[in-house]
Structure formats: structure tokens, C-alpha cells
Structure 1
Amino acid sequence: MTRERAGSSRVERVARGGSGERSGVNDQGAPGEARPTNDEAAPATRSEPPVSRLTAVAALLAGLAPCPACGVRPAGAPGVCGPCRALLLAATAAQTEKPGDVVWLGPYAGTWLRLVHALKYRGARRLAGFLGELLAVRVARAGWCSGAGAIDLIAHVPTTAARARERGFDQAELLAAAVAAHLGVRRVRALRRVRATAKLSARGRSERAALLTGALEARYLPNRSVLLVDDVLTTGATLESASKALLDSGAAGVRCAVVARTMRRSV
């Protein structure tokens, strides 16, 4: 199909380390919803308002903020400095091992912990675009974009409404949008939380699993191969619960991509 051929060509460029071009966010909702365009923010007959001085100053300060990866050089437009961007892209593109059903960029420590924290807790939203680009490279290198069982939908694990309001965004949704844009794969809002859950960060796997039971509801996605995107894998209970909901709703398969994974200490 035409869509698949176009998507494959973009995937090949990403797998080679990226073309250097940035695509727009593929922010699609449920089937039947109008696809958002850049023109929806203001009518075509109305000129855009000038950028306020406050907005301009904020953008300037963001560019001068230290890179969250190295903490030394100023962060550039992607949210990290040029050398760190090149280094992280090269390291991600160099990963060649064939994974199971989950890929991640690195351990939830050091550089990756700082990047995730900058996105989630310091409002560095533009980092989602760069991290999504890295995830797209990792997914392409894993071979998930072609052949039997190739992913044809991308979804995210939604955070709770309260946390999304507190942060002003859902970091997993931003990541999924960036991955979809770079891979040329359709993104859908496949999951929704039907029950609020207590904070899971300090809980073990069994306790997390119990709290997540019945908390997620999936759309009907018959025979679709879904890539599920989240920021951090801790015990795996959240991804397992989300994957089960998708499979129970007809998905043919679910694979997962996260920025960082908590590594268990060997005894």
C-alpha cells in the first residue's frame, strides 16, 4: 500500500541515524475525528498575533538553560546541546541486538534519568521530540517496522488526569506523538483510564498490578499490531496491564518502547 511504502522509506532514514529533518506531530485521535491541522488554531483570514516579549524572553532563556544530559553546555532547540544530541543519536543507532517485546534507550540512571526528570518535572516539553526521535531509531533498529507483524499503530500509556493537569501535559502522549511523526505510523488514543490509581512509584510489582486491575480500558483494534510508548519501565506491571487491555480488545500483538528502564540489582 502507498502509506506503508512511504512509512518504510522514512523508517529507513531514521534507522540510519535520522535525516536531520523534523516532522510535525502526528496527533491523530480516534477514527472519525477530524484530523487537526496547523490552520485550526486561527482562521485563515486572521493574521497571527505578534509574539509577546514574555514569550520571546522565555524562548531565549530556554535556549540558554544548561543541557540536561551533560549539564555543561547550553541546551539547543531539541532540549539538549549539539554534542549530546549527536552522541545519543549515534549510540542509539548503534544498537543492533534483536529485543523481545520491549525496547528502551538506557537505564533509569545518570543521563537518562536526568532527561526523563527534565521532561516530567521541569516542564522541558521539547525534550519529548528528541527522545521520541531516539525511540523511533531504536524501534526501527529492532526491525519492528517491516515484515510480518510490523507495527501499524502507535499508542501511549495515559497518565492520570490529575497528573496531566498538574504538569500541563501527558509526557507519554508527547513521546508517542514524536515517535509516530518520525516513523510515519498512525497514532491513536487507544487506552483510557477508567479508574484513578494511587501513585505507583514506591510500590512493588504485585501491589502495582493489583492497583492497575481494571484501571485501563482499550479501544477495539481488531488484528492491529500496536507499539505502546511510555517514559519509564519500573516493574513492568503498567505495560503488562496496558498490553493485556489491548490484546483483550482484539489487537494482534503489542510491543513496547520506553525511554528508560529501572535495572534490577543482581544479588
Structure 2
Amino acid sequence: MKRDTPTNAVLITGTTYPHRRELRSLGCLWNRDREGYLIAEEKAERALAFALDVGLSVDHMVVEPEDLEPLTGDALRAYRQDRQTSRANRLRTRADAADRRADEAHNRISEHERDFLRLGEPIKVGHHSEGRHRKLIARFGKAIDAEMTERRTAAELRNRADWIAPARIAGDAERQRQEIRDEVSKQIGKGDTVSNSMWGVGVVTKVNTKSFTVWYADRGFSQTVDKSWCHLVAKGAAEAAKPAPKFKAGDLVTVSRLAKTYPGIVRRRTSSGGYSVDFEFLGRTERASFAECYIAARSV
């Protein structure tokens, strides 16, 4: 059927949640303001067929071109933040309702009755007041249980609302790390002593774009560590940053491997601060790199 007014989009509404994955895979985009999925009319053939097949409503309409494009960058962050804020507000609204129910439970016992219970008056068995007294204690127990339950619920809901994280988009984590790297670069340079939770304390021997090359004397090797992981321990002299090699090519050594030691000869120093060593292993000569802490000098 020919439409009098030209349209550029199809809006799919109804109980769309069970079909959200299929609709997205067909190119539809959720539009919160219209409470449905939008798709450009020229791309809507398969989506239309699917929507009609599962009993969803379909409308043809005119929308702005940007409504048919996925959100990116700051627009996506703002959209997600709006959702996070709405979620927090819903949790706080539920907490307020729980507090109102707690107040109602509290008010089931009048102040006069509470004053009487505070006196700690024992139940007078056989007295005409016995039945009334027992009923009051039972009502008070139920009321205080209901009140405390609702107070806990309200506190939990508010705690959940407070802990909802700010909205993030792809790339935010790396941007945050880069900000830390930029700040660390102002504090740490070649020759400084730094620490990190994985490798411990070492000396910076080289400053890279995103990392430091750090010499760990107690371990006998260098390690490349992201700047965002490093913390300054002490400032040092840049000229003293490069550790003096303990061994040189041709030195006779013993190396530790698999809890055993083997005789070998140093071939060269590696870029990581270790050594390439030829050593005797199970009757044959092998070559491998070893950190300085796994090598010891050997006499002829």
C-alpha cells in the first residue's frame, strides 16, 4: 500500500525484550524515548518479517538521521550515565518506600504502650490483664521484626544505589591508565628506585613510552613494567642506573635448573639483564637464558 507521507524508519514496539538479541542482530537500535526498536526503512525487510512473525507492532515514521546511528563517544557515555542515574533513583525510591513501611510498623505500637513495656512489668497470671498483656507483647514482637526488616532493606537499597559506578565506554580504562602514566612520568626517571606489587623493588634503567625497564638486583634480571604500576621509592642518579655485569662472555659458571646445577659457559649478556649460557644437560650441550640469580662462578 502506498503511503502519502514519505517515511525513513520503522519502529518495532510491543513485548520486545524476549526478542532483543534477534532484533539487534537484524540491525535494530533501541530508542528509549519511543520505547521500541528503530531501523532504517531500506534495511528493514528482514526485521519487519521477524517482528510480524512474533506478534510485535510495526509503525513507519520519520525520524532524525542520527536516531538511526549507534551512539558513540560522549553521546554513548551520556546515555549510559542517564541509565545508571535512573537505576540509582529507582533504588532510592524503593528505599524510601521501605522506610515508610518501617514507620508504619513502628506506629502499630503507641507510645503509651511502649512506655508500659519499658517498665518491664511481669505478666500477672490469672489477673484480668493477663490476656491483654500477652497480646501486646506479641504485637510488639511482630511490629519490631517488620520494622527492622524494612530498615535493613532500605539500607541495602541505598548502599546499592551509592555503589553504582559511573558509566564507561570502550577506551575509558586505557585513557585512565594513560593519565596515571603521564603523572608518573613527571615523578620517575632513569636511576630512580621504584616498586610494584608483582616484582618488588628495583631501579629504572630505561624510560619507555608506556613503561619502565627496571633492574631487580635481588632477582638478577630486568623487567618491563607498565608505568601505571610503578611507585617511586627513592630518587637516584641516572648514571648509576645501569648495573655492572657480574659475568662476561667466556666465564665458566654453574647454572640452576629444575632444582639441580649444571656446568656451563657464558656466551653473551641478554637485553633483559640475564645471560645466554651453554650448559651440559643429560649428556648434551644446550643453550638457554638465565637470570643472574641462577648463575654462580665456577673455577676450572
TM-score (norm 2): 0.17
Identify the structure with the greater strand proportion. Answer: 2
Which entry has the higher C-alpha Rg, 1 or 2? Answer: 2
TM-score (norm 1): 0.19
